[in-house]
Chain A
């Protein structure tokens, strides 16, 4: 069974940083591109970025390129999203996504 489990979310103050993780199981993680998508409360889906199998190619949506960093550890079957300079506009559910499925998401709330 394919499982993607995000963690690391929670309440964070504006201007601070946060790192999300996504633990993958049930498929060959290092064979797949992986990505992150977010959804602000009551809104639609926003593509954040993606990373290829060996981390040699990482693409971002331009508005988040200077704030967010995607990485992966194939030995640990884990995908990461490092977020910095967080603002209220970054409050959202963050989903880990692959061609095999999506995680259930993790909530990030940016507030003082």
Chain B
């Protein structure tokens, strides 16, 4: 199985500052069809996960442009600029290139 390693485990940030989360996969996520099936989700307290980024760098419909995804191969990053209170929660990366699909363990974004 592809292991998804997220760092840091938790992140304390001041409102208005930038946050950055890393996700590394144990195998390249480049699919034979040319796509990289890496997504980022945010799970706010008491809610189901919501899709932020798909195909490594594409923002899902309605997602703020403060969220940006980058990376390729095995190294990926989610950046959140000008953190707002509604950004707090647990962020997960998710690969659906290789079966079985796998999630990272999560990164908890908290207020400093």
Interface residues of A (CB under 8 A from B): 37, 44-47, 50, 59-62, 95, 101-105
Contacts and interface: CB of A to CB of B under 8 A. Distances in A.
Interface residues of B, number: 17
Nearest to B43: A45
Interface in B20-54: 41, 43, 47-51
B103 A102 contact: no
Contact of B51 (A45, A50, A61, A101): A101
Q: Is the interface of A mostly helix, strand, loop or mixed?
A: strand
Contacts of A95: 48-49
A104 B43 CA distance: 11
B103 A46 contact: yes
Interface string B92-107: 1010000111111110
25 contacts: A37-B49, A44-B92, A44-B103, A44-B106, A45-B41, A45-B92, A45-B94, A46-B103, A47-B100, A47-B101, A47-B102, A47-B103, A59-B99, A59-B100, A60-B100, A61-B100, A61-B101, A62-B100, A95-B48, A95-B49, A101-B51, A102-B49, A103-B48, A104-B47, A104-B48
Contacts of B104: 44
Contacts of A50: 101
Contacts of B105: 44
Nearest to B99: A59
**Residue of B41, B51, B100, B105 with most partner-chain A CB within 10 A:** B100
A61 B94 CA distance: 14
A45 B96 CA distance: 14
Contact of A105 (B41, B48, B94): B48
